[in-house]
Structure 1
Amino acid sequence: MLPRRLVACLLMLLPLAVEAQGFPRLEALADDGFRIGAEARLLGNGEPGATLGSLAPREALSPASVSKVYLAAAALDRFGPQHRFTTRLLGTAEPDAAGVLDGDLILEGGGDPALTTEDLWRLVQRLHQAGVREVSGRLVVSQWRFGPVTCITTDRCEGQRRVDNAYSALLSSAAVNYGNWCVTVAPARTPGEPAVVTGCDSQSRLPAIDNRVTTRPDDSGTQLTAERLTRDGEDIMRVAGRISTNAHPRQVYRTSSDPAEQAARLLQEMLGQAGIEVAGERVTTTLAPPAGAHRLAAVDGEPLQELLLRTLNYSNNFMADTLALNLAETPRPTLVQAGDAIEAFAEGLPGHGELRLDSGSGLTPENRTTAAGTNALLEHMFRRPALFPSFVAALQSPGNGVMRFIRRGSEAFQHHVMLKTGTLNQPVTVRAVAGYFRTRSGRWGVFTVLVNGTASTPYLSWSRVLDRLSVDLDAMIEAH
């Protein structure tokens, strides 16, 4: 007969043994042919925590945009939460007493993933304050750190010629506005007239606009389509549809074909509006500025912790891959080399195991990790007290996250979980989610779920994944 104390210990362990068998509701997706890797576990006080559920936790699967949690962790480890990327205006000569810069004016791209039109205006204002009124040489945009970066995904490669989205932006260390052109569509005063379509960032028509939008009477509805075309080296925004006379102006974003050239055109226009004349031509280059170039103006970007919040909350592929390229030690790195830098960081995590990242964004379908490996990363960041607040803040709570499709499930799932999702539909369906949960007793836990389809599996909606996950996690949260 077993001692009474031993019996009590075995009874305490029984719920964990039962729960460790898996995620019973998520597991049902395997009946439709989906491959699933999942793991959830409590975090212990310095030692491994109890496993609450697992399904093939060491199977290597595509994480899609869950790759961005690796990028965030590696960037925080390398740079720290308060790091800022700096963009500079340099001169090959100093301006004389009359404000003439007898040489080239150079925009040195600093790899800031969130450089905006407002930042360019600040640079121009500071250049004006430095006394510059005329440039006798050229306007040069230097993307010597990286760019143009060779495309390795279908969306980005097709975007060099034509694009109908804002997420597949090409990459450059001198890019502005996330590599996107923006136009504003406003109604004309009279129904039947063409809408008023203008560039968001300039008084001139930047980019060139092909306006096919008609103004309709009040309350008749607004429907717009837009694509960016490139002809003879010039980007054209073609906007079509209708807008009602009482509608608010709408802003439409589409990726540019050459982000460095886009930055050069915008900067040239701003210099002209500020009364700074540039006599020479506008060029882009992959060469670094001359060693003796003079700093004339500079602008610091947002702190890294703010960049990561935007990158992960909105799953911004441009920002993620730009940050990853900043991590690479190789001169003028490729996306794969940027992924190698993140892999090198993850190799040092205890118990991580297999990992392949060809990008920081997760757009590359070749990315592979495991549920157990992702949880090892999440636990590692939890144990970095100087970095964890910035890391977890970049995740979303389902109850109030910016992505509306995650606002579902029980009260416990909505308010006791912070997560990052990942979605791919080609070449196979991917629905991935990873993050932290807090139990009713206040303990922390980590979870990762990777669901991958095959060529023969049906479409998988997010609701089918999240509804099952919320019930499985809810049981863990309530039980502990």
Structure 2
Amino acid sequence: MKRKWMTMMMAWILVLGMITFQNSAQAKEVIDKTLSDSITNMVDEKLAGAEVSITIRDGFSGEILYDYNALTAVKPASNMKLLTTAAALDVLGKDYRFTTSLYTSGKISNGVLKGNLYLKGEGDPTLSIEDLQRFAKELKAKGIHKVDGRIVGDDKWFDNDLLTPGIWVGDESYYYAAPISALTTSPNTDYDTGTIIVEAIGTAVGDLPSIKVTPHIGDLQIVNEAGTVEAGKPNTVTIERLYETNKIVVSGNLPIDKTKREWVTVKHPTTHTLSMFQEVLAEAGIEYSKDKVFQAATPKSAQLVAKKQSMTLEELLIPYMKLSNNGIADILVKTMGKVKNHHGSTEAGLQVLREYGNSINLNMADWQFEDGSGMSHENRVSSLTMSELLFKVQGEDWFTTYFNSLPIAANTDRMVGGTLRNRLKDPLTAGKVYAKTGSLTGVSTLSGYLEASSGQSYIFSVLVQNKSGASTAIDEIVKEIAKEL
């Protein structure tokens, strides 16, 4: 009976293999006849002068069905997150949670803490002002109404390098280039860590606009140099933090019927978080005797008061990958470095990415990178290598989590469609492309999985640099793949 069952199984496997081979052969034939010419013509007409690398693979076998300059190394932009996320799921696990803890030192006497408060961070990108308020309530519950000591931030989980290599000076004010420390906060559930939201609102013509800050100004300063003008006039307001300062300057003209909102980076996430915590304590009725905040390690003798754990990594991947959150990518890199190599630095974390790539037999010599988010213009990878990663991760036990984190074409739900919610709306591609976008100055990339009109699944990677506005041409290429296959 066992021999008969084995014979039947071998026959079925052979049939499946023949079907797969036949489908692959048919796809190859279609590509040879039509798709190859179509894509080549599109590249020549719409991406003239650009550096382009394209690879299409069979989703089941990994066979290369089409390539155009497949070995050409191109800036991946946020396609870099495809490797970072794979490594994070492998090293940290989908159930990993970030922790932030509140400690006290010294003794409590008559409601006075004769010692310090320690806020210890381990890189949680979801820490919010509401969490700090809960910490204040925990202190009140212990009967503490005054701190006769310092408010100390312990951010030693990571190193002191706040910015990854390759961040341009002109980008430092903006959320996509936020500084990273182990003790940081986010203004909302997009988790743009290390930022605040500044909104200018038109008031009376001739007056300064009113300014709203979410969640808290902390140690930053607003310099309002803007003016409110009549409705219908151009909105020229800019909101920027001056380089290497705590000053945010609001300038330009704001029509009375308009608003201007900007996510602005803080200068130092740790000191900003501590300044916010000071205000939270004051609002809770807890006095403190020393205004100046400090950064230091939590002593081993300190007493734990409260702890906050983030959502799981699996849950965090949704806002991170759908919205292409650079800050979370940078935090994941440093966290991997800390967990695996005992050093919370970008360099240590990038070594973990290389180790993961080697573990699945990627040729890591084909990857050049100096961050995990894709912000650096020094990063390079080819479409051949990127598509190889996408093929090999399909065998990982966490692949479903990885796949579900990818933006889905034309799905208008922000946390489903993400950065593809307004792209690839044609019936051939809507809801059938699961892919990671990438964008830098002169760079557009898209890599992922698609279900073609035949029902077969394919892996694709289209990387373009030295061309502005290339995303439209990329979408047309992907649509052509879906149609012809």
Bigger mean CA deviation after superposition, 192-201 or 61-70: 192-201
Which one of 331, 352, 366 corresponds to residue 341 of structure 1? Answer: 352
Partner Cα distance (2:65, 2:32) in 1? 5
Which one of 206, 212, 233 corresponds to residue 192 of structure 1? Answer: 206
Which one of 379, 383, 399 corresponds to residue 367 of structure 1? Answer: 379
CA contact (8 A) 2:78 2:438 kept: yes
Deviation at 1:254, TM superposition (A): 1.0
Q: SS of the counterpart of 1:312? A: helix
Within 5 Å, which residues of 2 pair with 1:46-445?
Answer: 48-96=61-109, 98-149=110-161, 151-153=163-165, 155=167, 157=169, 163-177=172-186, 178-188=193-203, 190-202=204-216, 207-217=220-230, 222-229=235-242, 235-247=246-258, 250-285=260-295, 287-328=296-337, 329-352=340-363, 354-385=366-397, 387-400=398-411, 401-403=417-419, 407-408=423-424, 410-425=426-441, 429-440=442-453, 442-445=455-458
- Is 1:37 aligned with 2:53? yes
Partner Cα distance (1:452, 1:192) in 2? 45
Deviation at 1:431, TM superposition (A): 1.9
Bigger mean CA deviation after superposition, 77-86 or 368-377: 368-377
Partner Cα distance (1:32, 1:220) in 2? 38
Q: Deviations over 1:100-156 (max 9, x none)?
A: 221111111111123222222232233333332221111111110114315454545
Counterpart code for 2:304: R
CA contact (8 A) 1:86 1:301 kept: yes
Bigger mean CA deviation after superposition, 112-121 or 79-88: 112-121
Deviation at 1:87, TM superposition (A): 0.7
How many residues were matched structurally?
Answer: 448
Deviation at 1:331, TM superposition (A): 4.6
CA contact (8 A) 1:343 1:356 kept: no
CA contact (8 A) 2:206 2:227 kept: yes
Partner Cα distance (1:111, 1:201) in 2? 19
The 3 A distance-change label for structure 1 pair 142 and 23 is: farther
CA contact (8 A) 2:452 2:481 kept: no
Deviation at 1:170, TM superposition (A): 1.1
CA contact (8 A) 2:164 2:371 kept: no
TM-score, normalisation: structure 1: 0.84
Q: SS of the counterpart of 2:91? A: helix
Identity %: 24
Q: Deviations over 1:149-181 (max 9, x none)?
A: 15454545566xxx5422211111112121113
CA contact (8 A) 1:133 1:276 kept: yes
Partner Cα distance (1:110, 1:270) in 2? 21
Partner Cα distance (2:299, 2:436) in 1? 42
Q: SS of the counterpart of 1:40? A: strand
Runs of 4 or more above 6 Å deviation? 9-12
- Counterpart in the other structure of 2:414: none
- Counterpart in the other structure of 2:477: 468
Partner Cα distance (1:404, 1:393) in 2? 14
The 3 A distance-change label for structure 1 pair 11 and 244 is: closer
Deviation at 1:192, TM superposition (A): 2.6
TM-score, normalisation: structure 2: 0.83
Partner Cα distance (2:428, 2:121) in 1? 45
CA contact (8 A) 2:407 2:434 kept: yes
CA contact (8 A) 2:341 2:348 kept: yes
Q: SS of the counterpart of 2:207? A: coil
RMSD across aligned positions (CA):
2.9
Q: Unaligned regions of 5+ residues in structure 1, if any?
A: 1-5
Q: SS of the counterpart of 1:337? A: helix
- Counterpart in the other structure of 1:3: none
CA contact (8 A) 1:145 1:331 kept: no
CA contact (8 A) 2:362 2:389 kept: no
Deviation at 1:344, TM superposition (A): 1.0
Counterpart code for 1:403: T
The 3 A distance-change label for structure 1 pair 318 and 23 is: farther
Partner Cα distance (1:296, 1:20) in 2? 67
The 3 A distance-change label for structure 1 pair 11 and 376 is: closer
Partner Cα distance (1:200, 1:452) in 2? 36
Counterpart code for 1:60: A
Deviation at 1:326, TM superposition (A): 0.4
The 3 A distance-change label for structure 1 pair 10 and 464 is: closer
Q: SS of the counterpart of 1:174? A: coil
